């Protein structure tokens, strides 16, 4: 027999699950800020430990040894991956973890269907209608999470193009597939034939692919937070099937927080969540990173590491704007060294972080925290945007769309309406990018490249900052 809900009448078990839930709430609170993120992680680990131990102690386990071995294997794999993974690969790692949560929900749902007696969901020899709804929704959400996360992983890891892939009639196909899943779930309450749950599973896998394929690389932060929300709701649905309070609480917290985060990310791009899911950021002609090209051959000025070092050392304030190019080049450590050298010279250094910079929510914050950049030097867009007009140097490293004034001036631009940094108001702009050919994930040319106060530093971000550091030290 699989676990039974023997804890239902035990108040101590309810208290333990409540304590786990409180830990998870503190974890979410801690993770809301880079300064408290480590403490938040510890709360999350403590809450999960309480929940797992409580479940194992209070349930009749068929083979405790098998479960311990499974935990040891999974924990060992997770430990090795966490030790080896580079911070720049965190977005695809998060997507991969979401896919595992989704597949776990699918497998639990199928296990409950194939052996309902073990889950105590039988009424008069058939699965209860309520359990069938929970099962159908859990499997559907889990399958969508799995297949969507696989596509997100492939896009983030560069295994497939990050450009939106537009299928003809995709909106009709998506709506029709979702309607079919809901209709079959309702029908499943009256008929528990295996073909119904099998079709729900297949359709859910398909719609997961279809929902994520049209989304471009610049919308990946929203996709990651959205998939995080899906994984939470899948876990909550399976919690009802398993009669496990901890899973319900945890899943609901993850689902709700992911949904709120998705809303915040969409608001940061000044677009609706539905528009992101329906079309993606660069849906009307955007391209993958490096695939676009400058639309007009315009004059621009090339700078050098020595130019940047001299002007920044003479500046009163330097604002650094990091983007995904910094992550790809793994330049966060040398960038922090540059900031330290400038501060030693009496320069005020600040870091400006856009909410959608990178490939997952908080990507730039994570990288700067890894490089031990002081938290009090890191500012969000609304807190620092007013300072560019009084700033001597804006130092853009690997960012493009988040500093593109077309978001304010060009109504035909796919990024129109997205709040961006006012870097063009700074006295001098240094812009690090690999070449003048690439124009970012949105595929939009950037007027900042050609401004009189802009100097283009064409190079790998890490190599260029290393040269600047050398010039500063000399």
79-122 pLDDT, tens digit per residue, is 888 888 876 677 888 888 889 889 999 999 999 899 888 888 88
Average pLDDT over the chain reads 83
DSSP at 380: E
Model confidence at 169, pLDDT cuts 50, 70, 90, reads confident
CA distance 416 to 162: 20
* Residue of 284, 297, 307, 401 marked active site: 401
Buried b (16+ CB within 10 A) or exposed e, 123-138: eeeebbeebbbbbbbb
Helices (H), 323-434: 324-329, 332-344, 363-370, 381-384, 406-409
Model confidence at 53, pLDDT cuts 50, 70, 90, reads confident
Is residue 177 over pLDDT 80?
yes
Q: What is the pLDDT of residue 297?
A: 72
Tokens at 130, concatenated? 């309520």
DSSP 158-198: TSS--S--PPTTHHHHHHHHHHHHHHHHHHHTT---HHHHH
Question: Among 57-66, 194-203, 349-358, 443-452, which is the least confidently predicted range?
Answer: 57-66
3-state secondary structure of 350: strand
Alpha-carbon dihedral of residues 211, 219, 225, 146, nearest 10 degrees?
30
Q: What is the pLDDT of residue 291?
A: 40
Model confidence at 282, pLDDT cuts 50, 70, 90, reads very low
Statement: the pTM of the whole predicted model exceeds 0.85: no
CA distance 187 to 263: 32
**Hey, CA dihedral for 182, 169, 442, 269, is it positive or negative?**
negative
Is residue 465 over pLDDT 60?
yes
Q: What is the pLDDT of residue 33?
A: 73
Alpha-carbon dihedral of residues 135, 141, 142, 144, nearest 10 degrees?
140
Mean pLDDT of 192-214: 91
Over residues 311-320, the pLDDT tens digits come to 999 999 999 9
The answer to whether residues 441 and 291 touch, using CB atoms and an 8 Å cutoff, is no
Q: How far is CA 234 from CA 45, 149, 281, in A?
A: 20, 13, 27
Model confidence at 328, pLDDT cuts 50, 70, 90, reads confident
Is residue 429 over pLDDT 90?
yes
Question: Which single residue is written with the structure tokens 């631009």?
Answer: 413
Over residues 287-296, the pLDDT tens digits come to 333 344 445 5
The answer to whether residues 320 and 335 touch, using CB atoms and an 8 Å cutoff, is yes
Over residues 216-257, the pLDDT tens digits come to 666 677 788 888 888 888 888 888 877 778 888 888 888 888
Q: What is the pLDDT of residue 166?
A: 74
3-state secondary structure of 231: helix
3-state secondary structure of 360: coil
Model confidence at 62, pLDDT cuts 50, 70, 90, reads low
Is residue 70 over pLDDT 80?
yes
Mean pLDDT of 381-410: 89
Question: Among 137-146, 208-217, 250-259, which is the least confidently predicted range?
Answer: 208-217
**Beta bridge partner(s), residue 396:** 321, 431
**Is 60 among the catalytic positions?**
no
Q: What is the pLDDT of residue 277?
A: 61
Question: Among 148-152, 380-384, 441-445, which is the least confidently predicted range?
Answer: 441-445
Question: Which single residue is written with the structure tokens 């950049």?
Answer: 373
Is residue 348 over pLDDT 70?
yes
Q: What percent of the chain has pLDDT over 70?
A: 88
Is residue 261 over pLDDT 60?
yes
Going by their DSSP bridges, the two strands 317-322 and 348-353 should be labelled as: parallel
Greater pLDDT, 424 or 13: 424
- Domain covering 305-473 assigned CATH 3.40.50.1220 in the classification: yes
């Amino acid at each position: 027999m699989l676990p039974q809900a023997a804890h239902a009448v035990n108040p101590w078990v309810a208290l333990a699950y409540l304590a786990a839930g409180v830990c998870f709430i503190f974890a979410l609170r801690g993770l809301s800020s880079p300064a408290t993120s480590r403490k938040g992680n510890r709360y999350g680990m403590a809450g999960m430990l309480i929940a797992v131990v409580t479940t194992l102690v209070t349930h009749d386990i068929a083979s405790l040894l098998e479960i311990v071995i499974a935990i040891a294997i999974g924990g060992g794999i997770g430990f090795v991956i966490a030790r080896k993974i580079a911070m720049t690969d965190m977005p695809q790692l998060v997507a991969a973890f979401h896919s595992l949560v989704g597949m776990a929900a699918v497998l639990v749902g199928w296990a409950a269907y194939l052996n309902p007696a073990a889950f105590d969901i039988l009424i008069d020899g058939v699965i209860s209608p309520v359990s069938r709804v929970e099962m159908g929704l859990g499997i559907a959400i889990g399958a969508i999470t799995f297949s969507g996360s696989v596509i997100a992983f492939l896009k983030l890891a560069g295994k497939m193009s990050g450009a939106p892939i537009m299928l003809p009639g995709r909106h009709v196909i998506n709506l029709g597939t979702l309607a079919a899943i809901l209709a079959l779930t309702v029908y499943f309450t009256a008929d528990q034939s295996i073909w119904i749950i099998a079709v729900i599973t297949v359709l859910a896998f398909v719609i997961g692919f279809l929902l994520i394929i049209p989304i471009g690389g610049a919308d990946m932060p929203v996709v990651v937070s959205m998939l995080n929300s899906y994984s939470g709701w899948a876990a909550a649905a399976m919690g009802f099937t398993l009669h496990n309070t901890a899973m319900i609480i945890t899943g609901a917290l993850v689902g709700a927080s992911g949904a709120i985060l998705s809303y915040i990310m969409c608001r940061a791009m000044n677009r609706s969540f539905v528009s992101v899911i329906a079309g993606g950021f660069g849906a009307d002609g955007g391209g993958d990173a490096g695939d676009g090209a400058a639309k007009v051959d315009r004059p621009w000025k090339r700078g050098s590491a020595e130019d940047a070092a001299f002007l920044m050392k003479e500046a009163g304030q330097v604002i650094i704007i990091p983007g995904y190019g910094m992550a790809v080049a793994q330049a966060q450590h040398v960038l922090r060294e540059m900031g330290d050298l400038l501060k030693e010279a009496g320069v005020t250094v600040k870091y400006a972080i856009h909410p959608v910079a990178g490939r997952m929510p908080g990507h730039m914050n994570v990288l700067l925290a890894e490089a031990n950049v002081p938290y009090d030097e890191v500012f969000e867009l609304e807190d620092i945007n007013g300072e560019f007009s009084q700033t001597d140097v804006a130092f853009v490293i690997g960012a493009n769309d988040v500093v593109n004034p077309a978001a304010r001036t060009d109504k035909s631009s796919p990024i129109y309406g997205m709040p961006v940094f006012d870097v063009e108001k700074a006295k001098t702009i240094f812009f690090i990018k690999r070449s003048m050919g690439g124009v970012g994930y949105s595929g939009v040319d950037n007027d900042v490249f050609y401004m009189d106060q802009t100097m283009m530093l064409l190079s790998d971000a890490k190599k260029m900052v290393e040269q600047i550091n050398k010039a500063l030290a000399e």
